[in-house]
Structure 1
């Protein structure tokens, strides 16, 4: 546009003065483009000056057009328009008040709600917190119930990392590094970090890709690192290692991760440092010792139930327990994963969360291990559901990405993200201005917890830990209302140990072994039980 404006001016001077009439259109557009390039509020306009306005014009005229701008009807949509709008309003401190009642069909299958009380409570502060750290932890962490889930440098841009971490610093909550190691961008603003260690051991690996205890101890000693997370799997691609396409690997990312940038970075599907449940518990103990006694936890998506129960048996046998376990649902998100794994592998969050809670309660370990929930948790009602089913805290990634400007263009793996959130191209990531987006990250956190406090108060409760399954209700396929404790029944403390848990759970318990992840054959278990 600037070139056209200059050409029009020159042509009017040297060729025909009537050509100067074109400046009435070109000059204002050039000024609009200049403003778009220099403003900091809209990433789309910084990357696409002038033409980016067409997106907002179309939305203003016909709001439903947004669906066709950022959704692909060929694949399931990760986040609904309602969910994104909720995040945007809270991130921008815009009122979420809605006239004329609910926008949902209360008679629709799957519609859910929580019961309220005739004696609402008064909650003085919505800054809900809890201590994470079990019996062997020397440096427990006083965490918020909402934190940023794994966002690796490489998967997301340096600007996004800084916006997340500065927002976490402003709001007093934690930022999970993701498996891509701790970069200088994670450390720039001093926000609390949860250092995720995955099977690639990025940031603490030998040249051969093995775990390096000395490198781990040096980084884990940083005061900014508050907890360690050992990632076994993630809901978006369980049974598959993390993937960072070669197109997104810069020399800086290669140095941070200690990898070769000439090929795709694919983490091993399984950890090389251990091969049995008993060895995993020893590895957890080693990480806790090397970190100086900081909380060490697990992140995993639930698959074969007997395999998780093998971990529980190993905890009992060794006396070693993780300080927390984050359950990632099969609906969890990622920037790069095979579509079949994303759609059809891994237990959904509610089922996985309820199972892990029951397993720990039934084995008498629930008091030693905190549980986190991850996987499409966005609204205050989402919080109520996961807390009622056993979660102590929530880890969210995509919601914070929306707060930082993501429009769900679904180009994360291409390095062509239009808003600068998931690209390593400097001319694209410059669209994300940290000083503008970091407060939005903090606003989303604060406003979501405020909404949660309002729901808890309406139910007559004071803290998310007070939520129980029977607070939940859902409309079943036959039109009847099913209570949460019917849909997701909880076991009694110690029920697995004394053999009074449900038959299906006991059968899986007997299949679990602590010196191998391979469960016993069901036929053998049947014979054992009959005998």
Structure 2
């Protein structure tokens, strides 16, 4: 594959040498060698420049990508009419990330290209008395009652593991997070040396494989966890129950893909498939989960500990809520992952048809905590195709305290969504363990882009919140977001979605069918309902 990527460059180089040799022997004129010589010079420039990973990996031929990108606005009406639906992610949102990451102007002339009469279109209501907010550094305190609370940005890097991403991608994300003072979720692959290199804030994700804190048989190891969790760089601990890409599905990292660095980071042997079980071995009930959270909180020295899940059966999350009431143990945060999210490979059926979408999962988690009187004690994060400032504002309005983005920050790194992550042939060096491909991603340049994307998105969020006449993102509510229902009807999201009032579930005011049917049968002692 290396030869294929560099074929145009080598061809130009060889042709230049041949033609110049013929010219030197007076068999051809010197002019014959000018074109291949120019191509060779272009190829050398591509290999040495540090701005474009595609050109570093594909000298000469990589320019075709930028040529097509340059003319796309003019050709859009002919070739890209389905760009909002025909691709796995909107070209428009990807373009916004690129522009903000590169510090390019992202303003658009001639109004919107969206069909504002289309059902489902949403917008934020503006005020005739806008506010003026001093800073776009919006933050929320997680674990306020703990020994080591954390001041969390409202926009952070979502979970992506070293192993899924290259070492240079992890470096760039963490350096950008350090510069912008926002959090970088490690993903379940644990904390690598590349996460530590620049000292950016980390959320250490603990999944069923207990990577970085496991015994040889895959069970949890208290001592290894304690040694790592007490690092000042690790700000929070996240127990992953499921993820949006493939909830309820374990994973396998084939032995052939396990490098010595990955093995050392995860605490696994070389030459053996790395298994991520579908379930945890440390607990099997809602009460057991909360006791595990309390244990991690103590071992970490009082850092905030929470859970991440894509909501599945309602009674299972209701069981966790009932366990909170029964044990008086509450997670410091819950990260809700939407089934539409996920950057990792997964079976098609899981991608399309397993798990709750973010909106429904977020509202259910928020409602349940409100209904049991614990919403003020538990912060909620949200992830699932969140890219733009409006995505963030909308998600915060529906019930989240902060948002995480995986795909957005991958785009900031230079990902062109070639969908070759699972092949180890990523053209931009983002999602590969191939050292030659990964070298194309120049860390200082991409770290700056990560920082700029974060800052530009928060600045845009600041402008939205000011336009809505609000003092802070925490003031966003469902009634600030409007949705078109059909050609001649719009509704506030507070009317479209169903919200409980404080202590409703404690008082038996179920209000809605899902609580009326499933709350009574949920159990703190088991994830299985009591039919």
TM-score range, shorter chain: over 0.9
Q: CA deviation at 1:76?
A: 6.1
Q: Distance in 1 between matches of 2:205 and 2:432?
A: 21
Residue in 2 that maps onto 1:118: 128
Residue in 1 that maps onto 2:424: 415
Q: Superposed, which structure 2 residues align to 1:76-87 within 5 Å?
A: 77-87=87-97
Is 1:9–2:16 an aligned residue pair? no
CA contact (8 A) 1:232 1:299 kept: yes
Residue in 2 that maps onto 1:330: 339
Q: SS of the residue aligned with 1:368?
A: coil
Residue in 2 that maps onto 1:131: 141
Taking a change above 3 Å as real, the CA distance of residues 65 and 437 of structure 1, as seen in their structure-2 partners, is farther
Structure 1: any 5+ residue segments left out of the alignment? 522-531
Q: SS of the residue aligned with 1:506?
A: helix
Matched positions, count: 518
Residue in 2 that maps onto 1:48: 58
- 1:434-482: per-residue Cα shift (whole Å, max 9, x none)? 0100011000111101000101111100111101111111111464112
Is 1:227–2:236 an aligned residue pair? yes
Q: Distance in 2 between matches of 1:65 and 1:321?
A: 54
Is 1:501–2:501 an aligned residue pair? no
Taking a change above 3 Å as real, the CA distance of residues 430 and 221 of structure 1, as seen in their structure-2 partners, is same
Q: Distance in 1 between matches of 2:128 and 2:180?
A: 33
Question: Which of structure 1's runs of 4+ aligned residues deviate more than 6 A?
Answer: 64-73
Q: SS of the residue aligned with 1:511?
A: coil
Q: Distance in 2 between matches of 1:266 and 1:69?
A: 43
Residue in 2 that maps onto 1:527: none
Moved more, 259-268 or 149-158: 259-268
Structure 2: any 5+ residue segments left out of the alignment? 1-11
CA contact (8 A) 1:247 1:415 kept: no
Of 50, 61, 71, which residue of structure 2 is paired with 1:61? Answer: 71
Of 105, 118, 121, which residue of structure 2 is paired with 1:108? Answer: 118
Residue in 2 that maps onto 1:431: 440
Q: SS of the residue aligned with 1:496?
A: helix
Q: SS of the residue aligned with 1:497?
A: helix
CA contact (8 A) 1:160 1:434 kept: yes
Is 1:300–2:294 an aligned residue pair? no
- 1:60-113: per-residue Cα shift (whole Å, max 9, x none)? 23447799999999x963310111011111111111111111221110111101
Q: Superposed, which structure 2 residues align to 1:203-352 within 5 Å?
A: 203-352=212-361
Residue in 1 that maps onto 2:208: 199
Q: SS of the residue aligned with 1:420?
A: coil
Is 1:486–2:512 an aligned residue pair? no
Q: CA deviation at 1:234?
A: 0.5
Taking a change above 3 Å as real, the CA distance of residues 156 and 67 of structure 1, as seen in their structure-2 partners, is farther
Q: SS of the residue aligned with 1:520?
A: coil
- 1:207-247: per-residue Cα shift (whole Å, max 9, x none)? 10000110000000111000000000001100012443445
Taking a change above 3 Å as real, the CA distance of residues 351 and 370 of structure 1, as seen in their structure-2 partners, is same
Q: Distance in 2 between matches of 1:69 and 1:255?
A: 47
Q: Distance in 2 between matches of 1:68 and 1:220?
A: 54
Taking structure 1 as the reference length, the TM-score comes to 0.94
Taking a change above 3 Å as real, the CA distance of residues 76 and 272 of structure 1, as seen in their structure-2 partners, is farther
Q: Distance in 1 between matches of 2:286 and 2:243?
A: 18
Residue in 2 that maps onto 1:384: 393
CA contact (8 A) 1:134 1:322 kept: no
Q: CA RMSD in A?
A: 2.0
Q: SS of the residue aligned with 2:505?
A: coil
Of 521, 525, 530, which residue of structure 2 is paired with 1:511? Answer: 521
Residue in 1 that maps onto 2:9: none
Residue in 2 that maps onto 1:475: 484
Q: Distance in 1 between matches of 2:79 and 2:53?
A: 16
Taking a change above 3 Å as real, the CA distance of residues 65 and 299 of structure 1, as seen in their structure-2 partners, is farther
CA contact (8 A) 2:117 2:486 kept: no
Q: Distance in 2 between matches of 1:244 and 1:310?
A: 32
Taking structure 2 as the reference length, the TM-score comes to 0.94
Q: Distance in 1 between matches of 2:236 and 2:95?
A: 32
Q: Distance in 2 between matches of 1:236 and 1:71?
A: 27
Is 1:463–2:460 an aligned residue pair? no
Q: SS of the residue aligned with 1:103?
A: coil
Is 1:30–2:46 an aligned residue pair? no
CA contact (8 A) 2:371 2:500 kept: yes
Residue in 1 that maps onto 2:185: 176
CA contact (8 A) 1:155 1:244 kept: no
Residue in 1 that maps onto 2:103: 93
Q: Distance in 1 between matches of 2:55 and 2:512?
A: 59
Q: Distance in 2 between matches of 1:163 and 1:68?
A: 37
